[in-house]
Amino acid sequence: MAGCTSLCRQGVLKLIQSLQRLVSGTLTKDRTDDELEMMTMVCHRPEGLEQLEAQTNFTKQELQILYRGFKNECPSGVVNEETFKHIYAQFFPHGDATTYAHYLFNAFDTTNNGSIKFEDFVMGLSTLLRGSLREKLEWTFHLYDINRDGYINREEMTEIVSAIYDMMGKYTYPALKGDVPKQHVDAFFQKMDKNKDGVVTLDEFVLACQEDETMMRSMQLFENVM
Amino acid sequence: MSAGVSAWLPFARAAAIGWMPVANLPMPVAPAENCGGQHHHRKDELVVLNVSGRRFQTWRQTLERYPDTLLGSSEKEFFYDEASREYFFDRDPDVFRSVLNFYRTGKLHYPRYECICSYEDELAFFGIIPEIIGDCCYEEYKDRKRENAERLQDDLDDENKDKAKPPNMTSRESMWRAFENPHTSTMALVFYYVTGFFIAISVLTNVVETMPCGAAPHHKEVSCGDRYTVAFFCMDTACVLLFTVEYLARLFAAPCRVRFARSVMSVIDVVAILPYYIGLVMTDNEDVSGAFVTLRVFRVFRIFKFSRHSQGLRILGYTLKSCASELGFLLFSLTMAIIIFATVMFYAEKGSTSSKFTSIPASFWYTIVTMTTLGYGDMVPKTIAGKIFGSICSLSGVLVISLPVPVIVSNFSRIYHQNQRADKRRAQKMQKARLSRLRMSKTGSSSAFLHSKRNGLFTEALELTTCIEQEQRKDTSLLESQHHHLLHCLEKTTNHEFVDERCYQQSFLDNSSLTRGGYVSSSRSPSPCSQEGVAGTCCGTRDHAPLSNAKGVAAPPPPTYVLHHPPHHHHPTHRPTVREYVTVYL
């Protein structure tokens, strides 16, 4: 019987809804199709396999595998920032990877035109995976140097570190406090900024990294990713 | 992770180099790729899938994108044919196209020409859940599935109806069954026909009652009702008695009496018999005789009792009910037009003498008659302005009524279907089952990481990776272990661990209780979540001794239970947190 009384209440609500619909009608406006913007089809084909092989440190087979994955996700041949963020975010389901993906995108997009072609992608990967230590460090420096002025200042580093912490998400142990990124940045500057002038130049960065054995070992970690 | 995205895992791992300078802790060891004998996993090779004679070829890596399906896991080895070096499946090759396209593109499509049952069977065979059908095809799939379910349900209902009476039904249940399905027993059938006959008699009586029935010589004509009062009264009484008995019997037999009392048929029943009883009660009272006469009108509702007997009436009623909103809107817009024109006509005709347009409501009648092009002529405008507006009214009546009617009819069918589809789509979007399964697969990837943390990782630290260990941990695919390694690196960079929500709340509560409690002794307080012991904790206990003392320490002591002590204590709080204690139990 209790179910019947709740049904009664639902019936009253439905009555009110139907009365409202009676007055206002249910004719919906048709969506005008002219408002659909025609997306310009950008199609980009990369240069030949031999050229890419010469320019990067990958073998032909590795390039083939890379291109297949790339083309599958981006049939038009270029990655725009949205797709890039979407792809990167899928690897970090806990937190928000979009900010860091934005910086990564800028690091890969050497031509600064808002899209990554396959060549840019492969060049970046070649540096990261097969490049010399110095090249890797230079790449990382360019990643941190958001405004490309040749110096890493505190604000840029804070943004990068906050972006990394964002990827952790909310549920961490120990719980993330607000000043953790700041302290991390302080520790970083402590280590890197030799002349204490508040900014880190490329040489300071490379020097400080080469002194840190743990970091050197970590950089070699991803040698055999492909 | 979806198909193409797993191809980007090498990129994501390479990009992790960007975290290295920021990290203060050493990184965990990467899962080694080919340890002896598994070389063919590394080199991309073509596999041939022979489905009932039609050969499909694809890369092995394409299939391995979804390790929890048949083709992506080792289950396909059961179908491997050594002689022809291909995988043979004795299944439908047409449906297999969709299945294979799912691996290639990451989207599952439902072909419209395919039967829903065969499609679902194929999906079940290949271990793919139908919930991941893409949005482009999901609606169609759901529609077909619902139709199929309804068909099955109808079949079941028909079966149930024709089934022999289950042995122990109470008299009440059997009575209800007799009422609902008259053809089940002869008694019910007899009752059904008798009530039908009496409904017809009752309606006929009501009609004949008002006819003029011949006149006595020097009296005016009387209606039959007044002439044969007693006969008609007896007839009425008999009908009402039968209807009352029927209603009470249905009320008694109904499984849910409140619901029955609210149903349309029972309301009609009540309205059909009530005037008689009210008439009985109020016969002597002259004041309400006018109302009593009105009540007799309700007797005509007895004709609706026929809808129990007629399928067609029921369908008509259902149709009207379902398009009530569209019709209502049409009426509403007509009402607006009527009000506008009535007002105009009233003010136009206000000046003329002996005008019939005495008020705006009085003009409504003229407007309706004119707009529906009836034109009775009992009210006509006399002023010139009135005639002008009157003609505008009749012209617009033609437009307002006749033009939109076919448009409304076709609009109705289109909007009806469109709304049904929109509601269905909305309902599907909010469909909890689908959402929860999609969410589970998403959290599956994140909880898989926590799960693997919980389970195997302290063994990883005990031995630096040897191939034997790798072989033993084959239950997680290479892709998964690489992904977990990536997440592990992130943890190391930020010096925080991933936990699931429950653990987080618990640690939050524990921390806040600690601030209140103050001192906590090391022997009695393990870390908030790791109370259950080594293997079953939600936060994961890990043997950090070898890692945090990094530099090439020899094999650490066997199973240790270590509380994690981050080398950098970021929190400038003075309260003794549990993290300050490092306890080693040997």
Concatenated DSSP letters of B242-264: HHHHHHHHHHHH-SSHHHHHHSH
**CA distance to A158, A177, A221, B469, B525, per residue, from A224 (Å):** 31, 36, 8, 19, 43
| Beta carbons of B15 and A128 less than 8 Å apart | yes
User: Is it the case that residue A148 has pLDDT exceeding 70?
Assistant: yes
pLDDT for B557 = 41
Name every residue whose Cβ is closer than 8 Å to that of residue B221 and which is 6 or more positions away in sequence.
B212, B213, B214, B215
Among B38-47, B92-101, B133-142, B227-236, which is the least confidently predicted range? Answer: B38-47
Q: For residues A13 and B161, give the distance between their C-alpha atoms in angstroms, rounded to a whole number.
A: 34
Q: Which of A58, A218, A223 to mutate to test the interface with B (most CBs of B within 10 A)?
A: A218
pLDDT for B462 = 44
With CA atoms as reference, report the closest residue to B535 among B452, B473, B411.
Answer: B452
Residue listed under structure tokens 């009000």: B339
| Beta carbons of B14 and A180 less than 8 Å apart | no
| Beta carbons of A168 and B494 less than 8 Å apart | yes
H/E stretch holding B63 reads helix B60-63
For B7, nearest residue in chain A (alpha carbons): A69
| Beta carbons of B329 and A188 less than 8 Å apart | no
Q: How many CB atoms lie within 10 A of CB B298?
A: 15
pLDDT in tens, B494-508: 888 887 777 777 776
pLDDT for B344 = 92
Q: Which residue has the higher pLDDT, B258 or B153?
A: B258
Q: Which residue has the higher pLDDT, B420 or A84?
A: A84
Q: How many CB atoms lie within 10 A of CB B23?
A: 22
pLDDT for B558 = 41
At residue B553 the predicted structure's pLDDT band, cuts being 50, 70 and 90, is very low
B105 vs A contacts (CB less than 8 Å): 72
* Residue ranges with strand state E in B93-166: none
pLDDT for B425 = 60
Among A69, A144, A169, whose Cβ lies nearest the Cβ of B8?
A69
| Beta carbons of A25 and B329 less than 8 Å apart | yes
| Beta carbons of B511 and A87 less than 8 Å apart | no
User: Is it the case that residue B530 has pLDDT exceeding 80?
Assistant: no
User: Is it the case that residue B373 has pLDDT exceeding 60?
Assistant: yes
If you average pLDDT over every residue of chain B, what do you get? 74
Mean pLDDT, to the nearest integer, of B160-188?
A: 77
If you average pLDDT over every residue of chain A, what do you get? 81
Q: What percent of chain A has pLDDT over 90?
A: 2
User: Is it the case that residue B227 has pLDDT exceeding 90?
Assistant: no
User: Is it the case that residue B527 has pLDDT exceeding 50?
Assistant: no
With CA atoms as reference, report the closest residue to B118 among B84, B141, B88, B86.
Answer: B141
Tokens representing residue B325 in the block: 């909103």
3-state secondary structure B263-287: CHHHHHHHHHHHHHHHHHHCCCCCC
pLDDT for A121 = 87
Mean pLDDT, to the nearest integer, of A131-159?
A: 88
pLDDT for B556 = 40
pLDDT in tens, B9-23: 888 888 888 888 877
User: Is it the case that residue B251 has pLDDT exceeding 80?
Assistant: yes
H/E stretch holding A135 reads helix A133-144
User: Is it the case that residue A146 has pLDDT exceeding 70?
Assistant: yes
| Beta carbons of B529 and A18 less than 8 Å apart | no
User: Is it the case that residue B162 has pLDDT exceeding 50?
Assistant: yes
Q: Which of A222, A223, A226 to mutate to test the interface with B (most CBs of B within 10 A)?
A: A222
Q: Which residue has the higher pLDDT, B570 or A197?
A: A197
H/E stretch holding B118 reads helix B116-125
| Beta carbons of A129 and B24 less than 8 Å apart | no
Mean pLDDT, to the nearest integer, of B138-167?
A: 74
At residue B2 the predicted structure's pLDDT band, cuts being 50, 70 and 90, is low
pLDDT in tens, A98-143: 999 999 888 888 888 888 888 888 888 888 888 888 888 888 888 8
pLDDT in tens, B30-43: 776 644 434 434 56
pLDDT for B427 = 67
Highest-pLDDT range among A149-153, B46-50, B474-478, B542-546 = B46-50
User: Is it the case that residue A28 has pLDDT exceeding 60?
Assistant: no
User: Is it the case that residue B265 has pLDDT exceeding 70?
Assistant: yes
As a residue count, chain B comes to: 586
pLDDT for B514 = 54
pLDDT in tens, B66-96: 888 888 888 888 888 888 889 998 889 999 9
**CA distance to B257, B302, B314, B435, per residue, from B306 (Å):** 22, 8, 9, 45
Q: For residues B491 and A168, give the distance between their C-alpha atoms in angstroms, rounded to a whole number.
A: 8
pLDDT for B354 = 82
Mean pLDDT, to the nearest integer, of A61-84?
A: 82
For A157, nearest residue in chain B (alpha carbons): B22
pLDDT for B238 = 92
User: Is it the case that residue B568 has pLDDT exceeding 50?
Assistant: no
Among B25, B29, B415, whose Cβ lies nearest the Cβ of A27?
B415
pLDDT for B465 = 45
User: Residue B235 in contact with residue B225, Cβ under 8 Å?
Assistant: no
pLDDT in tens, B448-465: 666 666 665 544 544 444
User: Is it the case that residue B260 has pLDDT exceeding 80?
Assistant: yes
Mean pLDDT, to the nearest integer, of B56-72?
A: 87
pLDDT for B48 = 93
Asked if this assembly's ipTM is beyond 0.85, the reply is no
pLDDT for B37 = 38
pLDDT for B51 = 92
Among B86-95, B147-156, B329-338, B362-371, which is the least confidently predicted range? Answer: B147-156
B415 vs A contacts (CB less than 8 Å): 26-28
Interface A-B, measured as beta-carbon pairs within 8 A, has a size of 209
User: Is it the case that residue B560 has pLDDT exceeding 60?
Assistant: no
Mean pLDDT, to the nearest integer, of B514-518?
A: 47
Task: Quote the minimal CA–CA distance from A111 to chain B in Å.
Answer: 19
User: Is it the case that residue B3 has pLDDT exceeding 70?
Assistant: no
Angle of the B135-162 helix axis to the B404-429 helix axis, nearest 10: 90
At residue B512 the predicted structure's pLDDT band, cuts being 50, 70 and 90, is low
